[in-house]
Amino acid sequence: MAEARRTVYRLGMTEDERKEAIQQHVAVCLGERDHAEDGLVKIKAGWTFHEANGDEPMRDVTEQRAGRFRNVIERMDSIIAAYRRWND
């Protein structure tokens, strides 16, 4: 995972190194997208998410999580599309 976080724009990077770095970044983005998609599937299957802060009572945060998951999917799709356009 740490290897996938190296910088795409390192000076002196060869074309092959740049393409490899982009592929690694796309793989990380796809993993994040898959995780978010999995969360939405679980919510649609009836799972709920609850949180509590300190001594406060538990509260249902399922809708907030669903919104976060949708945002992650949208952002990852956008990033992946940009990488693919740039890499062509």
Longest dimension (CA), the chain: 55
Percent of the chain predicted with pLDDT > 90? 62
Query: Is 12 among the domain residues?
Result: no
Helix/strand/coil (H, E, C) string of 13-60? CCHHHHHHHHHHHHHHHHHHHHHHHHHHHHHHCCCCCEECCCCCCCEE
Query: Is 48 among the domain residues?
Result: yes
pLDDT score of 21:
82
Check pLDDT > 70 for residue 22: yes
pLDDT tens sequence across 63-76: 999 999 999 999 99
Q: How confident is the model at residue 7 (pLDDT cuts 50, 70, 90)?
A: low
Query: Is 61 among the domain residues?
Result: yes
Query: Is 25 among the domain residues?
Result: no
Domain that holds residue 76: 30-88
The number of distinct structural domains making up the chain is 1
Query: Is 38 among the domain residues?
Result: yes
